[in-house]
A and B are shown apart, each in its own frame.
Chain A
Amino acid sequence: MRAALQEIFVTELGLNPEDFVDELTYNSIPEWDSASHMAIILAIEEKFDLALESDDIVAMTSVRKILNLLETKGIPVG
């Protein structure tokens, strides 16, 4: 799941793969703003076949938080 999430970040934000780290947070870089956050959410929903709630969407403000949340939804980190 980690590799898939990394691919989403690289595609949606135009990041270099090595910039994808657990500590990366929303709004800490210009590329991750409110508009691109929505693009990330939609890509996650599609990739993992999920329907995220608005509380989830607002809470997914770092790579670590996204990984943790996906884990609670039964998607194994790997």
Chain B
Amino acid sequence: MVSRNLEIGEFLRLSFEQFRDLPALWLNERTISYAGLYADAAKLGTLILETTKPGEPVGVLAQRSYPAYVGVLAALLSGRPYVPINMKFPFERQVDIASIARCRLLIWDEQSKQRCTELLQVLGPAVREASATLPDRADISPNFHDARFADTGSGIAYIMFTSGTTGAPKGVAVRRENLSAYLAAIAEIAPIEPGTRCTQNFDLSFDLSVHDIFQTWASGGCLYVMGNEEALDPVGFAKRHALQAWFSVPSVVAMARRLRRLQPGALPDMRLSLFCGEPLPASIAADWAQTAPNTRILNLYGPTEATIAITAEEYDRSAAPDSRPATIPLGKPFRNSAAVVVGSDGQPAPLGELWLGGLQISNGYINNEKENQAKFVNRTLPGYAFDRWYRTGDLVQRDDRHGLVFQGRMDDQAKIQGYRVELLEIEEVLRRVSGTTEAAAVLWPVSESGAAEGVVGFVCGATSAERDIIAGCRTHLPSYAVPRKIIAVDALPLNANGKVDRNALRKTYLAGK
């Protein structure tokens, strides 16, 4: 077993050596071994070292393709931050992400080649491009093979972009040591054996993909990547390949249930199932337990700012259904982390905002001091050794029986299909494209379990037509955050605090539809 105390680059190199003959990646009906993947990462890594300076990020404009995985691995082993740039995002957002992160190199695949060219035209000559499938070369850099030579610059592992309240995405810079701390913690709570066949359900731009990729490769597992069409039936894909470790948002299972894909005993090989990204309804966990009768089920919780996930609660198969809460609690913090409920007086309390501290707390947002000051605080809390805290904005109750229980958001952040969005960002875009100063974004439809599947826009006094407003939103927002329809209203109702009353809009215009 490779020591967990090593720097992440050295740790992964030793893992790739230890598991060299095992399969690391299954993609397009083809299996690639750890040795084969490492050899390709070394070629690309040498090019990365030649074209970028320490600390300069590498954009990965690739998805569900070999270049995507080689690109991520090569960047991390070269000591450079990687920045996933989702091909499904609008062009303007891709430009924002590459610019804010200051990417110096873009990795493309066949599907993104044209888009890469278009991006480079906007980003200018300082940004280079590379394909991840390179011819063999004899001069692999010794700096790639030996982590002791690696200058990791700022020490950033990756930069993940999330929705920002002002209309521009914000980049969370996660350090290499944050990732090491996460991988060590998750290996204790939810270990997998070498050879385990693991899902890869998440887009690279969703930080839960970092778990998929690096927990698998840190443990000798094999990452099973669904093709575009296979992604329409993830449960069928897991069944066909007898996958053993599952990770998704609960919505994926909810959707599979609605499509009658959850047959009892359908996934007998599954041993470990993790859910994260949105609350896990007990009914979904119960159905999954029937579908995969031999699996452990864990609910994970954590924002991108605290590196993938930071608390866990195991679903108890033997508990009587009546004794379970309707939603699986957030559980307990990982080792070397703390999760504290803080009241309005800034002191620990039974109900309040959840603050997170410890080795997984990231550097915060790049080039965004205002948000950093608002969200990351230096404070001593009685009984805790950590003095830097991330304020989650999650309203949480500390319950003696169930641990930490999610009660809702304290601001306008929301989840749509498990994706984190700021309703204020959608409203800002709505105002910009509709020619009005009054706009509201309301989550709808919402499933029985309370998970939002989409969003509807309300505008008052708009000068643009509905279809033009939606088209305008599409050029700024990811598809899941684009309003499904626009409703023109005479006035936006206000609540007692003088804010737009989204519940009233939902009840008046959407209830029963």
Residues of A within 8 A of B (CB): 11-12, 14, 16, 26-27, 30-31, 33-39, 41-42, 51-52, 54, 57-58, 61
Contact = CB atoms under 8 A, between A and B. Distances in A.
Nearest to B480: A35
Contacts of A33: 88, 479
B261 interface: yes
Interface hub of B236, B259, B470 (most chain A Cβ within 10 A): B259
A51 B484 CA distance: 25
Contacts of B483: 14
A27 B474 CA distance: 15
A11 B480 CA distance: 14
A14 B417 contact: no
A38 B474 contact: no
A39 B232 contact: no
A54 B228 contact: no
B233 A57 contact: yes
Contacts of A52: 259
Contacts of A16: 467
Nearest to A17: B467
A13 to B, nearest CB: 8
Contact of A30 (B261, B470, B479, B484): B479
Contact of A58 (B230, B467, B480): B230
Given A35-B417, A39-B453, A57-B259, A30 B88 contact: yes
B453 A58 contact: no
B485 interface: yes
Contact of B259 (A11, A26, A30, A41): A41
Given A38-B255, A54-B261, A57-B259, A31 B482 contact: yes
A14 B230 contact: no
Contacts of B467: 16
Contact of A14 (B229, B251, B453, B470): B470
Contacts of A38: 232, 255, 258-259
A14 B482 contact: yes
B232 A37 contact: yes
Given A14-B485, A16-B467, A42-B258, A30 B474 contact: yes
B167 interface: no
Contact of B484 (A14, A26, A27, A41): A14
A58 B233 contact: yes
Contacts of A58: 229-230, 232-233, 236
Chain B, interface size category, equals: 20 to 34
A2 to B, nearest CB: 21
A37 B251 CA distance: 14
A78 to B, nearest CB: 26
Contacts of A36: 479
Contacts of A11: 484
Interface string B452-474: 01000000000000010010001
A47 to B, nearest CB: 15
B228 A26 contact: yes
B233 A54 contact: yes
B252 to A, nearest CB: 9
B304 to A, nearest CB: 20
A51 B260 CA distance: 9
Interface string B352-369: 000000000000000000
Given A33-B88, A41-B259, A61 B229 contact: yes
A49 B483 CA distance: 28
Contacts of B491: none
A37 B233 CA distance: 10
B2 interface: no
B90 interface: yes
A32 B474 CA distance: 13
B91 to A, nearest CB: 11
